[in-house]
Amino acid sequence: MISTADIQKITRGVLRLNEPMERYSTFMVGGPADYYLEPLNQEDFVSVATYFSDNGVPFVLCSNKSNILVSEEGFRGAVINIEPGVSAISSSQNVVSAQAGAKLGKLIDYCVSCGLSGMEPFAGIAGTVGGAVAMNRRSSNACITDHAEHVEIVRSGQVMLVANGNGSYETKRFLVERDIVLRVKFKLISSANNDILTSRRKFLIQQNKKQPVNIPSTGSIFRDPPQESAEALIRDSGVKKWTHGGASVVDDHPNLLRADNASPEDMFRLIRIMHDVVLEKHGLSLEYDVRCLGFEQELIGTAA
Ligand SMILES: Cc1cc2nc3c(=O)[nH]c(=O)nc-3n(C[C@H](O)[C@H](O)[C@H](O)COP(=O)(O)OP(=O)(O)OC[C@H]3O[C@@H](n4cnc5c(N)ncnc54)[C@H](O)[C@@H]3O)c2cc1C
């Protein structure tokens, strides 16, 4: 059993106890985490994560928290938020280095200012570099690691570089469970500023059409099965207009949930219903993209 004093010895960053997670989530829902930390910088982050691993304390990394749902009773472990302290972006020629907590929007703005193209398909997407790489996100046929030269990670307590594979989307999931993303180096294409801005605008318009704007909502609830679209399967199953308490399926993008004074349990139940209805109608058990923590049955997404 560790104590607050033990944790304070290993971090110079923020430590809060019993912190409500609704404050940090894109859908503004979530019970408390026993420990909530914001490491000061990358070094601090690595020591905190290593300490929790070594001492068997359950912990979850979060950055933008669009795919993490914590129950009303809370998560008996630590939530480590790297967005404030581990989010620097720098560049050298056409290589941009982004720390895991950097927001995708900030990264794209930075690339525009450097005249570098490649990241525009992710315009308008809530989330951070680390979360997107851990979940192997894609948008408009682009994969987040398409332009990644390598990813700096922590694996079994060791900091190492993992080179990007050249394989298909599926084989690009080169991280293994519990890997921690620290930084990604993207090799991008020099391009005229106006062209990048036009391309960014095009993707932003596309994205805003398929996601609720100005309404608190989750990221994708289910991962696309090979050769299928989770969204299409959900739509075909007729759950499009479904609600449970304050949680409802987003009309135009039924793989997202919106929250309107929803409790974590409302969200969790609706997620289970969606899963079970698709299973019944299509015989397919969808893999969860969302990570549900502290519920009677934990639904663990595929990321760390
Ligand atoms: C309305 C909306 C629409 C979206 N549409 C799209 C879309 O069309 N295409 C798309 O690609 N994405 C989309 N997203 C984003 C996507 O669903 C994920 O939410 C996002 O990529 C996850 O990033 P995050 O920073 O929010 O991660 P979090 O929700 O904080 O974390 C997600 C998972 O990643 C893990 N994780 C976080 N950081 C790290 C790290 N540094 N190392 C290892 N593991 C880590 C967490 O433990 C967790 O398991 C959308 C999001 C929203 C809110």
Kindly report, residue by residue over 53-73, the tens digit of the pLDDT: 999 999 999 877 778 999 999
Mean pLDDT computed over every residue of the chain: 89
User: Which ligand 1 atom is the nearest neighbour of the CA of 61?
Assistant: 47
Q: Which two tokens stand for residue 66?
A: 């669009």
Distance in angstroms (rounded) separating the CA atoms of residues 132 and 212: 19
Residue nearest to atom 34 of ligand 1 (CA): 131
Ligand 1 atom having least distance to the Cα of 220 = 17
The protein residue with its alpha carbon nearest to ligand 1, atom 27, reads 131
The CA distance from 151 to 130, in Å, is 10
Domains of the chain, CATH where assigned: 4-81 (3.30.43.10), 89-191 (3.30.465.10), 213-304 (3.90.78.10)
| Interatomic CA distance for residues 16 and 4, integer angstroms | 9
- The angle subtended at Cα 141 by Cα 256 and Cα 237, nearest 5°, is 35
Residue 19 DSSP code: E
Reading phi first (left if > 0) and then psi (alpha if -120 to 50, else beta), residue 160 is in beta
CA of 136 to the centre of ligand 1 (A): 9
How close is the Cα of 219 to the center of ligand 1, in Å?
7
Q: How far is the CA of 198 from the centre of ligand 1 (A)?
A: 25
Residue pLDDT, tens place only, 115-155: 999 999 999 988 899 999 988 888 888 889 899 998 999 98
Alpha helices in the chain (DSSP H): 4-10, 42-54, 104-114, 129-134, 193-210, 230-236, 264-282
Q: How far apart are CA 127 and CA 27, in angstroms?
A: 12
Q: Which atom of ligand 1 is nearest to the CA of 139?
A: 9
Cα(3) to centroid(ligand 1), Å: 30
Model pLDDT for residues 149-179, shown as the tens digit of each residue: 989 999 888 999 988 765 444 545 667 777 8
Averaged pLDDT, 234-246: 87
Give the DSSP letter string of 163-232: EPP-S-TGGG----TT-EEEEEEEE-EE--HHHHHHHHHHHHHHHHHHS-SSS-B-S-SBPPPTTS-HHH
| 254-295 pLDDT tens trace | 999 999 889 999 999 999 999 999 999 999 999 999 999 999
Contact 133/299 with Cβ under 8 angstroms? no
Residue owning the nearest CA to atom 13 of ligand 1: 125
**Nearest-angstrom CA–CA distance, 75 and 31:** 8
